[in-house]
Structure 1
């Protein structure tokens, strides 16, 4: 059903262009898939089912600002997810909102949704990334936050895009980058497509495929955690316009595309990490703030990272070098094995600075046939953290 509807949307976009030229009212914009090649759809919900897929989503249930959030307020019908907004006494508040949070944890890639906000003041709606299960917006693992859009319904043409690196549940952020509240020139009560491309070096935000804001954001500045997708709306700021209730904020779909592949030694990205020999936690910092490093001092101890590449193509492989002038291994061996074709080089951790070291560019098949390994020489201690395969 959604495929057919998407074709209708694309036809509608062409019709909209024609009617715009004639000075008529435009229709809804088509979905704006990520530009460039090498993208693979890795997570999506078209909201075609008759109810929320609770194997993929949890519900927002906190009490915050002017509303309590209830699972009962999130419904699906006609291929749309609706967050219903109500004048309803619950949880000590006079209004109720809601939202969904993905159970799947995601990081770099292109995120997109198609949404329209409600009519009537008093509601804050957003499409964003952060850790958590929806019971609070101050979870213990709150660190990385990326806001695809944040819109207050009192200003239905204005929105903002943000990147935050928080210091835990109650502390301030290590950094805050944002577009500031700006006028989009669009009526956000109508359907619009919102996307953002999060990479290791920054985040770029789009509305209807047009870039609206971009900011640098490197791992050395702040944490780059795996996060959940949040689609939410709460009563916030201006008093809700009761005359417009009940109402709803709606989402047509949410999609996530992946192009680069990271394998770490901890967290969700450790899916392809394994060791042989004795490895212990190190006090040294890895490639992103707060990322732990493992070390081994016995000759032959080996760490291996094996990515699950979704799409065949040309990738440049890198290993993170953790430099230590006191106990780094000056003769560690880094091996890139592309399906049985190994290439080995010496990785000198005793000199230089920490950073990504390229192991070369090759063509890779989809799947888990490629790997990077690090073998300790026994001269000192080798340090294992992360590898990445970057699409070229």
Structure 2
């Protein structure tokens, strides 16, 4: 486990380490991603499909994470996926938190999630893609991370071969906690673009390496006692903190857009 953690623990690398370890545990439990890349889909979360999603449960990702992934913190109701964080002892941690990941890997295309976050210092609400050594691939990653100490912004970045690139904090109009916002990235071989509510907020081209390996899609909400410089000092929120996902879509490059508001419609 320490080998996986050492890949990415740093100012913002804990999210990647979480993904790496989650992937390792998923693989050992029979949930390893398929070799073939996934096809276009829209998930409105009328239910949580076991054929699409693996729910992390029963482990933590090391000393930087102060909660244990728990299936009890992952619920679907009213067409919404809800991940939660709360003071609820589980295994060796005093807090429980939620994470899901796709069983399939996905390649170039448009990734879109409609998400509302909560607030709380020391917490991270993330929508991202990841693949790594546990899948016998280099560590590639593409991120949206709301550090809920300041929900007015979201951090975007990439990892390529285990190294961080393209980090930027961008504004979330009105705040990530005040309503649902659309987070999207368009991943092409030689270009990567991030969008918030349909507006281009960041772009990476050949000036830096770009991810090239098909990846799994993750949603996670977790906390840390040790990454205060990045995530803010952790304080017990005294309540259940929630991250809600209204929709997730993946549209392969060149395929028709799947709903009216999709960024993929702008590319056609």
Unaligned runs of 5+ in 1: 1-40, 167-171, 261-309, 312-390
Equivalent pair of 2:151/2:172 in contact (CA under 8 Å):
no
For residues 76 and 217 of structure 1, the distance between their equivalents in structure 2, rounded to whole angstroms, comes to 40
Equivalent pair of 1:130/1:142 in contact (CA under 8 Å):
no
Q: Aligned match of 1:247 in 241, 244, 247?
A: 241
SS at match of 1:89: coil
The aligned residue for residue 113 of structure 1 is: 113
SS at match of 1:93: coil
> Residues 292-329 of structure 1: CA distance to partner in whole angstroms, max 9, x if unpaired?
xxxxxxxxxxxxxxxxxx67xxxxxxxxxxxxxxxxxx
The aligned residue for residue 59 of structure 1 is: 55
The aligned residue for residue 101 of structure 1 is: 101
**Are 2:212 and 1:224 aligned?**
yes
TM-score (norm 2): 0.70
The aligned residue for residue 12 of structure 2 is: none
**1:1-392 equivalent positions in 2, closer than 5 A:** 42-49=40-47, 52-61=48-57, 62-64=59-61, 65-131=65-131, 140-147=136-143, 149-166=144-161, 172-173=162-163, 176-189=164-177, 190-216=179-205, 221=209, 224-236=212-224, 237=227, 238-260=232-254
Post-superposition offset of 1:140 = 4.8
The aligned residue for residue 382 of structure 1 is: none
CA RMSD of aligned residues (A): 2.6
Which structure is larger by alpha-carbon Rg, 1 or 2?
1
SS at match of 1:72: helix
> Residues 61-106 of structure 1: CA distance to partner in whole angstroms, max 9, x if unpaired?
4413221111221000000000011112223222111111111211
Post-superposition offset of 1:185 = 4.5
For residues 164 and 54 of structure 1, the distance between their equivalents in structure 2, rounded to whole angstroms, comes to 28
**Matched residue count:** 209
Post-superposition offset of 1:204 = 0.2
Equivalent pair of 1:203/1:217 in contact (CA under 8 Å):
no
Q: Tell me which protein shows more strand as a share of its residues.
A: 1
Quickly say closer, same or farther: Cα 1:88–1:139, change in 2 above 3 A.
Answer: farther
TM-score (norm 1): 0.49
